[in-house]
Amino acid sequence: MAANHSVYALMVGMSENWWRAGIMPCLRSDLERDKPVAYIFWLIEGPNGAVVVDTGYHPDYVAPEWAQGKNFIEPPKLLAERGVRADEVKTVIVTHFHQDHFTGMDYFPNANFVMQRAELEFWTGPLMRHEVFDKQIRPKVRPALERLKQEGRIELIDGDFELYPGLELLKAGGHTPGSQMIALQTAAGKAVLCGDIAYTYKNIRDHHPVGWYYNLGDTVVALDRALATATRPDLAFPNHDAEVMQGKRVVRVV
């Protein structure tokens, strides 16, 4: 029988509102766009120890406007509040490659990074000759990826994948070609970490896709799958809604 997990949201930073964040929530209301944007990564505590989902961002790797401000706290300091040392984390699941999710690889010097093959191949492939794609990956990220490959610390998967009983990665696509979600067993039932398939609870509640997507159809289907997989709608968690944090920087969500 699969063991239960505890899930914590950790907020590395926050933008004042969606306008200043520069990302599109696909919400029509100015009131909604004026809400703050949380930049969250996740800690899963379970039978195999600590598993981290995404890395947060690193000032050395992100655009200049991200490197300062946003009330930034380094991920290792947030993890320490749970008694977890970043250098002891062995597994980091990567939902996708956008800079607020996967530029903190140096914080986890002993971890393997589990990602969809489609995600790695897209961001290192021929479509990067187009500026609209290439500028989304900061200059230092690809050399860092090459270093991780040489060190044997990238684990590529194709499609859905059971990391171990009770924790499964769900291929989603949509937001990016290799976006993935995490489904895991908790005491409250099965929970889903949606990654950027859902920025906000409104995306989930209204089946309203985010405004930044590679394939709109896949994004909509992934939203449906998140809700079908979670035991209850409130166990599907978005990745940028400040309400997740309950006014804290580290919070247990389930």
Per the structure, the complete domain to which residue 24 belongs is given by 6-252
Structural domain contains residue 234 = yes
Structural domain contains residue 85 = yes
Structural domain contains residue 1 = no
- What are the structure tokens assigned to 75, written together? 């991920």
Number of domains in the chain: 1
Helices (H), 51-128: 64-67, 75-80, 117-123
The Cα–Cα gap between 201 and 27 comes to 12
> Average pLDDT of each block of 10 consecutive residues along the chain (254 residues)?
89 79 53 82 95 94 71 95 98 95 96 97 88 80 93 98 97 95 98 96 88 88 96 96 96 98
pTM (2 d.p.): 0.93
Structural domain contains residue 177 = yes
Structural domain contains residue 185 = yes
CATH code of the domain containing 139: 3.60.15.10
Is residue 228 within 8 A of residue 237, CB to CB? The reply is no
Please give the pLDDT value at position 46.
94
Burial class (CB within 10 angstroms; exposed 0-12, middle 13-18, buried 19+) of 139? exposed
